[in-house]
């Protein structure tokens, strides 16, 4: 059984043009980006969080908060106004890992006003934060001093010790610099940087490949067409008896002969009833049906099993009388009288015969009787039906046979067609043994030579 990984690889392989298209798109984007990449200039400044009573790692958390405030698009315009820097310069604040230091980077496409831009913005952030903290301290001082001010306003006398305590408290509040920012003096030269052309091309290319693979997988999962054994069993519940590969030359022919031999061995299983009539059918027109049916019949006959191959695709007329006349009783013959060719003594064949009159209906009763005759006169009969969705007789043959094998063409047959075919067979109490998944019907060759061995026309009798 094919693994899920193999299914995914197969879906990507069968839609490799999608992956290639996205890869080319990513390559074009990467080339355009690399060709049009501008040189970027930058300068840097740094701030640190002041704290007398906290550990540095605790101050690092506060520094991260200051960096987020600085990077907020809603807050930067006010800082720009304070610093007096142009809009063409962009700024980014990044906290240093496990440190109370916050780095500020100024970037622009040219060096105009860039040398001190980061320093100006760092000072603007420092002043903004420290001013807010000072306002808080001033409010606290006013709150502490208010009781004594109220006493003085009432012409009361404030004790000397109370004045001393108040002054100490105010001095303590004003001396507290916790959470303030301090600009770190540093001379930052303007640095020049340009995107690495290799990375500029490689990243979009890799991204295109990844996206293309995901798109190919999604299309494979959503497709109604069968591309693997997994698709058939997962979407229809029917087993795949064998896969007939494509490919030309001796290697392809050997692989097909091996697959068809495995199918014949499956039908030789002791659990398969004897005698048996197997209907070979497809959902829509397929060149593989005739070839696989003939190969299967010839292999079983070559194994010494009395076999009859019946062409029941009566949509077109055959060259000689055959099954159509047998079913319509225009002429009669006995299946037991059909002989075989000397080089294949165990194989007999009944051709399709002349096309019946469109006004004449061949009922399932006659088809059932013909199937019973096949069982009586052979150990194994292979009936090639017309496409199930294109002929009413095909449904009747599948119902009369002991079981049906559905021929599916890879990347052509769909789940909708198989579901409709299954319903038709279920309506006549037929049984689908399994499916055969065919790669390239045009490459199929029969085990010996095509054409009838001895047709029913050799033994017809006038009615």
Tens of pLDDT, residues 162-221: 766 777 777 777 777 777 777 777 666 778 777 778 888 889 899 999 999 999 888 887
CB atoms within 10 A of CB 225: 18
| Predicted confidence pLDDT, tens digits, the chain (463 residues) | 456 777 788 778 888 899 999 999 999 998 888 787 777 888 888 888 877 667 777 778 888 888 888 888 888 888 888 888 888 888 998 888 777 888 888 888 888 878 888 888 888 888 888 888 888 878 887 887 777 777 777 776 767 777 667 777 777 777 777 777 777 776 667 787 777 788 888 898 999 999 999 998 888 877 788 888 888 888 899 999 999 988 777 888 888 889 999 999 999 888 888 899 999 999 988 888 999 999 999 999 999 999 999 999 888 777 777 888 888 776 666 777 777 777 888 999 988 887 665 545 677 888 898 899 999 989 999 999 999 998 888 999 999 999 999 999 988 899 999 999 999 999 999 999 999 999 877 767 544 434 443 444 454 443 3
> What is the three-class DSSP state of 286?
coil
The strand pair at 40-49 and 181-184 is best described as: antiparallel
- Cα(368)–Cα(385) distance, rounded to whole angstroms? 14
- Backbone angles phi and psi of 88, in degrees to 5: -70, -15
Residue 118 is predicted with a pLDDT of 86
pTM for this one?
0.61
Q: What are phi and psi of 42, to 5 degrees?
A: -150, 155
CB-CB contact of 352 with 326 (8 Å): no
SS3 assignment, position 36: coil
Tell me the angle at which helices 197-222 and 16-35 cross, rounded to the nearest 10 degrees. Answer: 160
pLDDT tens, residue by residue, 33-75: 878 777 788 888 888 887 766 777 777 888 888 888 888 888 8
Q: What is the pLDDT of residue 158?
A: 65
What is the pLDDT at residue 462? 37
CA separation for the pair 312, 290 (Å, rounded): 10
Residue 364, both tokens: 């399932």
Q: Which two tokens stand for residue 199?
A: 């990375």
pLDDT the model gives residue 221: 79
44 by Cβ neighbours in 10 Å (0-12 / 13-18 / 19+) ranks as middle
Question: Residue 29 CB: number of other CB atoms within 10 A?
Answer: 17
Q: How many CA atoms lie within 13 A of 256 on its CB side?
A: 24
Mapped onto helix, strand or coil, the DSSP state of residue 192 is strand
What per-residue confidence (pLDDT) applies to 2? 56
Sign of the C-alpha dihedral computed for residues 316, 320, 322 and 327 taken in this order? positive
């Amino acid at each position: 059984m094919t693994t899920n990984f193999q299914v995914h690889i197969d879906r990507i392989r069968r839609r490799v043009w999608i992956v290639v298209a996205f890869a080319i798109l990513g390559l074009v984007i990467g080339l355009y980006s690399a060709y049009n990449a501008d040189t970027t200039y930058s300068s840097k400044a740094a701030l640190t969080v002041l704290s007398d009573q906290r550990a540095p790692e605790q101050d690092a958390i506060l520094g991260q908060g200051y960096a987020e405030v600085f990077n907020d698009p809603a807050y930067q315009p006010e800082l720009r106004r304070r610093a007096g820097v142009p809009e063409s310069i962009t700024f980014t604040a990044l906290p240093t890992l496990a440190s109370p230091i916050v780095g500020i980077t100024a970037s622009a496409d040219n060096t105009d006003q860039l040398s001190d831009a980061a320093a100006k913005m760092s000072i603007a952030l420092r002043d903004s934060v420290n001013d807010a903290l000072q306002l808080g301290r001033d409010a606290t001082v006013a709150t502490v001093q208010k009781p004594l001010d109220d006493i003085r306003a009432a012409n009361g006398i404030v004790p000397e010790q109370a004045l001393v305590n108040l002054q100490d408290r105010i001095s303590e509040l004003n001396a507290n610099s916790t959470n303030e920012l301090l600009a770190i003096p540093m001379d930052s030269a303007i640095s020049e940087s340009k995107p690495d052309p290799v990375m500029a091309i490689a990243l979009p290319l890799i991204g295109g490949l990844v996206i293309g693979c995901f798109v190919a997988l999604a299309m494979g999962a959503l497709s109604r067409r069968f591309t693997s054994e997994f698709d058939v069993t997962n979407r229809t519940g029917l087993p795949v008896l064998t896969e007939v590969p494509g490919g030309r030359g001796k290697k392809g022919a050997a692989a097909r002969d091996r697959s068809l031999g495995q199918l014949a061995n499956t039908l030789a299983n002791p659990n398969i009833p004897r005698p048996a009539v197997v209907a070979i059918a497809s959902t829509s027109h397929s060149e593989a049906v005739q070839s696989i049916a003939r190969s299967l019949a010839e292999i079983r006959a070559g194994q010494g099993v009395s076999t009859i191959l019946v062409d029941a695709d009566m949509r077109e007329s055959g060259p000689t009388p055959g099954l159509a006349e047998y079913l319509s009783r225009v002429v009669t013959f006995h299946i037991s009288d059909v002989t075989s060719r000397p080089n294949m003594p165990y194989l007999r064949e009944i051709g399709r015969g002349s096309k019946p009159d469109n006004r004449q209906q061949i009922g399932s009763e006659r088809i059932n009787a013909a199937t019973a005759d096949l069982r009586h006169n052979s150990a194994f009969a292979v009936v090639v039906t017309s496409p199930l969705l294109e002929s009413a007789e095909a449904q009747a043959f599948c119902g009369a046979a002991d079981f049906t094998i559905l021929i599916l063409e890879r990347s052509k047959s769909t789940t909708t067609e198989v579901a409709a075919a299954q319903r038709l067979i279920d309506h006549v109490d037929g049984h689908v043994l399994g499916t055969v998944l065919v790669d390239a019907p045009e490459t199929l060759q029969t085990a010996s030579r095509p054409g009838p061995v001895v047709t029913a026309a050799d033994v017809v009798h006038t009615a």
